[in-house]
Amino acid sequence: MKLYEHEAKTIFQKYEIPTPRGELRTSSSLVREVTAKLGVPVAIKAQILVSGRGKAGGIVFANSTQEAETAAKKLLGSEIKGVKVKEVLVEEKIVAKKELYFGITTDRAKCSYVAIASSEGGIDIEEVAAMMPERIVKFFIDSTYGFRSYHAYQIARKLGYVGSQLRDLATIFIKLYKIAMDYDAELVEINPLMETVDGRFVAADSRLLIDDNALYRHPEYKERLIHEAEIELSAQEIEAQKAGLAYVKLDGNIGIIGNGAGLVMATLDAVQFYGGRPANFLDVGGGASADMMASALNIVLSDPKVEVVFINILGGITRCDEVAKGILEAKKRIGFTKPIVIRLVGTNEEEGRRILTEAGIHFLDSMEEAAMKAVEIAKTGG
């Protein structure tokens, strides 16, 4: 789960990481008020969960209360990268001498957390890694011993700092690590981490992603998750979430249902290979019941863009007879408004096929054959 900038900053403040003075507002007149209180210049920042917000015009600087109000009026209610802006964070504008980067994330190959620092902040860290790898300091954290203060000092030294600045920077690193652990962060980063003209360090922006699988340890974000679902997800995605199905909306016209993430991805690829365009990813998971199969079909058929549905089931724990029953159940409940191509093999396949045959539903043996058939139907419009 992604946290908003202001949510992450509230956590930063709790851990005493310096952030710019600022407040969250939802109307332009309130923005004007808070600007007067903070003093100009200010930064007005759209609170949205998409990356590249700055480049897309989501951050505006203002030199007067009037400018602030005008900017807020323009931002609030507008759409940035397809997401509606409902709140803005108004902050004192920090004059930076230098912009740094510091973040903590996981490293798959090393099976550990990794601290990443750079003297080149303010831009996408991946861009820095690609263009100037020598400007990146990486430290892999041994999970048995953790990230110690001298590790933080080592990193701050490598960025070229000494004296009290060395201590201040290292302290921020340690605190960010503590946040990463306490909040089960997949990623927590400060970008840019600004060095001010008078030598202080301020977290000008913040990003915090909480591991979805650890959310049960952070019940305070449960409400927040529902909120995120409402603004970020399509109707189908919300339905799928309720039904416990993994669904991702794509922009084609061939609806896809399968069992197992890898198989479904491979099914999308096969459809594209034969010249079709998948409308979605939907994994009914292992051991799917007839009921789940019916909800899956319901969700996919409710997407108006879908012209044909391709069901690809390889029964392992999932039983083909259950899948067949689910398909019939869906037919009974909602009717088949669109053509359906079915590939059904594996556990209890004879029984599953018998059920389908008796209901007059056609099925195919191979994934490739079925993919071709689905593409052909999508192209000719059934």
From residue 122, alpha-carbon distances to 103, 126, 152, 204, 234 in Å are: 12, 12, 21, 9, 32
Q: Which residue, 168 or 228, has its beta carbon nearer to other proteins? A: 228
Does 189 participate in catalysis according to the annotation? yes
Q: Which residue, 140 or 336, has its beta carbon nearer to other proteins? A: 140
Spell out the residues 6+ positions from residue 319 whose beta carbon is closer than 8 angstroms to its own. Answer: 287, 347, 348, 352
The distance of closest approach from Cβ of residue 188 to other proteins in the complex, given in angstroms and rounded to an integer, is 12
Is the CA virtual torsion 125, 131, 135, 138 positive or negative? positive
The distance of closest approach from Cβ of residue 138 to other proteins in the complex, given in angstroms and rounded to an integer, is 14
- Helix ranges (H only) for the chain are 5-14, 28-38, 65-75, 125-131, 149-158, 163-182, 222-232, 235-243, 261-273, 290-301, 320-334, 349-358, 367-380
Cα 68 → chain centroid: 30
The distance of closest approach from Cβ of residue 269 to other proteins in the complex, given in angstroms and rounded to an integer, is 4
Q: Which is catalytic among the residues 67, 69, 99, 101?
A: 101
133 burial class (0-12, 13-18, 19+ CB within 10 angstroms)? exposed
The distance of closest approach from Cβ of residue 104 to other proteins in the complex, given in angstroms and rounded to an integer, is 12
**How many whole angstroms separate alpha carbon 282 and alpha carbon 301?**
12
Question: Are the beta carbons of 137 and 119 closer than 8 angstroms?
Answer: no
**How many whole angstroms separate alpha carbon 179 and alpha carbon 198?**
27
The distance of closest approach from Cβ of residue 9 to other proteins in the complex, given in angstroms and rounded to an integer, is 22
Does 101 participate in catalysis according to the annotation? yes
Q: Which residues contribute to the site for other proteins (CB under 8 A)?
A: 106, 108-109, 111-113, 124, 126, 130, 142-144, 181, 184, 186, 211-214, 216-217, 246, 248, 250, 258-266, 268-273, 278, 281, 283, 286, 314-317, 346-347, 366-368
Q: Which is catalytic among the residues 5, 99, 120, 189?
A: 189
Catalytic residue set: 101, 189
